[in-house]
Structure 1
Amino acid sequence: MPKKDRSDQAPSRDVPKPQEGEVICVVKKMLGAEHIIVLCLDGKERTARIPGRMRKKTWIKEGDVVLAAPWDFQPNKADIIYRYMNDEIKRLAEEKVISREVIDQLRG
């Protein structure tokens, strides 16, 4: 029986891009109790909440790049939708959705 060729990479899935009402942010500080402070690309600092569906499955730490949805009735708060991995950040930079310099500036 021939061996399978493992050189093929896993199929690349689409990287979620910000839709209307969503913004890319960098985690600035962990507050505890599923709350974090994020610095968003629109220049605002928001208190964000990690929803229950992400709580135990996706670990978020300071410096991570996340996709957040600001609340309509309280624009200084948001919900975390997705956490970007390093290769996904590179892909967003290649597609000119975000600039790498802005992310480095926000992280540093």
Structure 2
Amino acid sequence: MGKKKSKLSSKVTYDADDIMLPDDEHVLGRVERLVGGDRLLVSLPGGRERTVRIPGKFRGQVLFRSNSYVLLREVMPGSDETLDVVYRYRWEELDHLRERGLLEEWE
């Protein structure tokens, strides 16, 4: 029998400079609920809600729950109708977003 391989630490360290922040091309949103398939219902700043698409690279690999925060990108520039998930923020990264005042609308 072989040796058991030790599990890697589940704690992920991050640098505050490496966190993806919303800019002109991206918008921050909060997941309200899972719609089904590859869709999420997300609340956006200004009280709007949109159904967004989960790209294939996230399906089955990244877990989306209610009240998780995501970074979204417009599929067609200038069109606010179709949005894709670009990044899901980890709970540790939300503290940095709170310090910058980006989550005040939802809290």
Q: TM-score range by the shorter chain?
A: 0.7 to 0.9
Is 2:54 the partner of 1:50?
Answer: yes
Q: How many residues align?
A: 94
- Whether 1:62 and 2:55 are equivalent positions in the alignment is no
The structure where helix makes up a greater share of residues is 1
- What is the identity, as a one-letter code, of the residue corresponding to 1:79? D
TM-score of the two chains, using structure 2 as the length reference: 0.75
Q: Structure 1 residues 87 and 103, CA, compared in 2 at 3 Å: closer, same or farther?
A: farther
Q: Secondary structure at the match of 2:62?
A: coil
DSSP-derived class of the 1:53 partner: coil
Runs of at least 5 residues in structure 1 that lack an aligned partner in the other structure? 1-8
Tell me by how many angstroms 1:102 deviates.
Answer: 1.8
Q: Is the counterpart of residue 85 in structure 1 residue 87 in structure 2?
A: no
Identity %: 27
Aligned to 2:93, the other structure's residue is in SS state: helix
Gaps of 5+ in 2: 1-10
Paired AA for residue 43 in structure 2: L
Give the alignment's Cα RMSD to 1 decimal. Answer: 2.0
Alpha-carbon spacing, 1:11–1:31, altered in 2? closer, same or farther (3 Å)? closer
Q: Please state whether the residue corresponding to 1:102 is helix, strand or coil.
A: coil
TM-score normalized by structure 1? 0.74
Q: Aligned to 1:12, which of 11, 14, 17? A: 14
Which residue is 1:5 aligned to? Answer: none
Whether the aligned pair in 2 keeps the contact of 1:70 and 1:77 (CA below 8 Å) is yes
